[in-house]
Amino acid sequence: MTQTQGKPNQILQGVIIISASVSALAFGDAIAKLLSADLTLWQIFFARSLFALPILGAVIIFTGTAFRVHAAKWVVLRSVLLVLTWIAYYASFPVLSLSVAAVAIYTFPILVALFSSFLTEEPTTKRQWLGIMIGFIGVVVILKPGSDAFSWFTLLPVLGASFLALAMILTRNKCQQESPLILSFSLLAAFFVVGLIGIIVLTIWPLSDQIQSASAFVFSGWGQMDGLAWLVMMFLGLMAVAVFSGIARAYQIAPPAIIAVFDYVYLVSAILWGFIFFAEKPDTLTIFGMGLIFFAGVLVAMPAARNRFVK
């Protein structure tokens, strides 16, 4: 029997799935940050996908999902944008705390509303414009431009948020007919290819020691991997399949406006894992900025049709 989207039991199930998925995603990102001292960005992309792709392929076959792409060029562009998202996000890990990087990239729901007003025919309400402005204030509070605490590396996850926002708009407007599993497979394949290219290019034609010293995590090709590192990559591959599938499932069975709000559980999880792994403690201004961005995200996510009192 087919269940109707939006039933209370499905909403609860969707909330649980998205909360668990983004919490696991934050845990995986914390591990990636931990590995940034020993491995390279390209190794993580390559090795994680090396294990994730066969597993996801088996899931696709088991569920009877057809390996069919309706709009190949848009699926490829979406995957490229998402890979750029993770490159920008992970590139900030050696310098930024996990909590600051996480809150910077989670400006993407606000950027989705901003970009949509220019790139699509979807109207942006006054409430959403208010959310965009509040979110911008939250970003300024966290980045602290003009102060000694400001780091240009903080702009990397904001750049990642821009790529992510464009990918989400593309998904909604050009990739609606695609299977979520096929979209996930395409993304993991893109990670695999980009990681492999990065490893080959930077290993055969290494950059200068001066450039590598700036960020060996980004500008080096291959680092030594022992058995434990490969086991961690296998674990991250399994987690990637579970996370991508969980997020897709949550948005399928419950209203996106509700799921989008609980997507912010990632921020809470990032703070928790940042404290456990790296003893990170966000300062008062950072916490205040997080609150502003969360509130802005809620304002942006609320569907106008269900909010009759906001014009």
Q: What is the pLDDT of residues 248-293, one digit of tens each?
A: 777 767 766 677 677 778 888 888 898 888 888 877 877 888 788 7
pTM: 0.82
pLDDT at 300 over 80: no
Of 50-54, 66-70, 91-95, 110-114, give the lowest mean pLDDT range.
Answer: 110-114
Q: What distance in Å separates the CA atoms of residue 243 and residue 179, rounded to the nearest whole number?
A: 16
Q: What distance in Å separates the CA atoms of residue 192 and residue 54, rounded to the nearest whole number?
A: 12
User: Per the structure block, which two tokens stand in for 249?
Assistant: 């499932």
User: Per the structure block, which two tokens stand in for 62?
Assistant: 């088991």
- Amino acid identity, position 214: A
pLDDT value of residue 285: 78
Q: Is the dihedral of CA 91, 96, 102, 106 positive or negative?
A: negative
| Percent of the chain clearing pLDDT 90 (strictly above) | 22
Place of tokens 């990102």: 29
Q: What is the pLDDT of residues 215-243, one digit of tens each?
A: 788 888 888 888 888 999 999 999 988 88
| CA distance to 13, 85, 116, 144, per residue, from 259 (Å) | 10, 21, 19, 30
- Amino acid identity, position 255: P
pLDDT at 84 over 90: yes
Helix (H) or strand (E) holding 272: helix 265-278
Q: What is the pLDDT of residues 112-151, one digit of tens each?
A: 777 877 777 666 677 778 877 887 788 777 776 655 556 6
Tell me the pLDDT of the chain averaged across its residues.
Answer: 81
pLDDT value of residue 50: 93
